[in-house]
Amino acid sequence: MSETTMQFDAVVIGSGPGGEGAAMQLVKNGRKVALIEKHKSIGGGCTHWGTIPSKALRHSVSRLIEFNSNPLFSGENIQRGLSFADILRHAQGVIQQQVQMRSGFYQRNDVTVLHGTATFENATTIKLTQADGTVETIATKQVVVATGSRPYHPPDVDFNHQRIYDSDTVLSLNHEPRSIIIYGAGVVGSEYASIFRGLGVKVDLINTRDRLLSFLDAEMSDALSYHLRNNGVVIRHNEEYERIEGNDNGVTLYTKSGKRLDADCLLYANGRSGNIEDLNVQALGLTPNSRGQLEVSKQYQTSVPNIYAVGDIIGYPSLASAAYDQGRICATAMLFGDCEQRLISDIPTGIYTIPEISSVGKTEEELTQQKVPYEVGRAQFKHLARAQISNMAVGSLKLLFHRETKEVLGVHCFGERAAEIIHIGQAIMEQKNGGNTIEYFVNTTFNYPTMAEAYRVAALNGLNRIRS
């Protein structure tokens, strides 16, 4: 077993969005940077198992649904079908493009990319164990931990069974299920319920809570529930499993309430755990919480001064978009001792169900609880020319604004392209010195016909409520 030593100003562990943001900011400010990635390809969970593949799957299924429901093609009597394997091939193509592009970033900026498992010996020394057993010692002044997270595995569920999947392993599903149980109705569970139902698979969605995605504005949550049910998804609220049994032909789930559910396979999508085990952070005096997450300051600094952490390994908000910003802010603090920039307070939420949901700012429930005098403006997509042209009439845009100041307090959207058009509302909400008012949407001129025109329609609707 050979051993060599390398010296760097900073080491970033993990090549997902958080690690990439930190590495790029550090190297562009003259630091000698090494990036360690355990997987054979860079990009992290976001690229290989999470955001990119699931959204690529969703896109293919969404286009299939669009084709089959479009009256232009109904005369041909062709119900086009795709297998899960077919749409996975498209996803793999997207993943390869992402890996190639991101590898180019590191090469052009002279970031040393090392593949292997990183383990702390102390705060300035890391052992790198490569796939062939070779061990290298890396000396560094500063470290960013950006190792991400993985699906949570309860000890009483047999994930080695060929029909029991998590959100990572479902991407290697190689048979065509006619039915699936999805346990956990959070973002991942709801997205995969849409995908499988769109492929014609019978879906039982088990929710351990009393409504879907309870952090959303209730109207958006209700719209998703209605739409999933309308498309044939069976949603079971307030249920927990007693036991899950795999057999040769499928899976049986027994609930604590006495129900028995049978399906060809099961996707367990209830919670995530930080990838902390290999790091040996205990050697630094760091203690992760029960979910394997590290505690950090506003500058993303741990209690060990030269060790920082970003992304899923620190918990909320666990978003790829936020992780990249965290990496940049963290690197700035590492370089200059401080960083005035913070994550924006109103981080948009994008949920890629079919149709998708996106929101930014306060919900009606939060404003009511805070006793804020707000009013609502709505636009139904079915009234928009662009939605009629595109045959995408399902959905709506809702603006929440202060009755007196007209300040936009929240934007909630359900429907195709929701995650794109939310940024218009977000941009206005970020305006200071009186620039954030609902009247902007009335006084500006939107392209016609567009989905963005929903803002003008919703603003007029809301202002009419005040004037009446």
Known binding residue 339? Answer is: no
Q: Which of 196, 175, 176, 192 is nearest to 184 (CA)?
A: 192
Q: Return the bridge partners of 362, or none.
A: none
Known binding residue 141? Answer is: no
Strands 164-166 and 357-361, by their bridges, are unpaired
Taken as a whole, the chain contains a residue count of 468
Q: Three-class SS of residue 192?
A: helix
Q: Return the bridge partners of 415, or none.
A: 395
Q: Three-class SS of residue 462?
A: helix
Q: Could you tell me the maximum CA-CA distance found in the chain, to the nearest angstrom?
A: 81
Strand locations in 314-403 (E): 349-351, 357-361, 374-380, 395-402
Known binding residue 271? Answer is: yes
Known binding residue 176? Answer is: no
Known binding residue 39? Answer is: yes
Q: Three-class SS of residue 398?
A: strand
Cβ 346 vs Cβ 360: under 8 Å = yes
Known binding residue 45? Answer is: yes
Q: What are phi and psi of 441, to 5 degrees?
A: -70, -25
Known binding residue 457? Answer is: no
Tell me: cis bond preceding 449? Omega within 30 of 0 counts.
yes
Known binding residue 42? Answer is: yes
Cβ 327 vs Cβ 15: under 8 Å = no
Cβ 228 vs Cβ 205: under 8 Å = yes
Known binding residue 363? Answer is: no
Residues contacting 92, CB < 8 A, separation 6+: 53
Known binding residue 41? Answer is: yes
Amino acid letter, 85 = A
Q: Which of 38, 46, 26, 44 is nearest to 114 (CA)?
A: 38
Known binding residue 44? Answer is: yes
Known binding residue 90? Answer is: no
Known binding residue 188? Answer is: yes
Chain centroid to CA 8: how far? 32
Report the 10 Å Cβ neighbour count for 133.
9
Known binding residue 331? Answer is: no
Known binding residue 362? Answer is: no
Dist. CA 460–CA 440, nearest whole Å: 11
Known binding residue 357? Answer is: no
Chain centroid to CA 91: how far? 16
Known binding residue 410? Answer is: no
Known binding residue 38? Answer is: yes
For residue 41, give both structure tokens.
Answer: 């390809």
Known binding residue 185? Answer is: yes
Binding residues for FAD: 37-46, 55, 147-149, 312
Binding residues for NAD(+): 184-191, 271
Binding residues: 37-46, 55, 147-149, 184-191, 271, 312
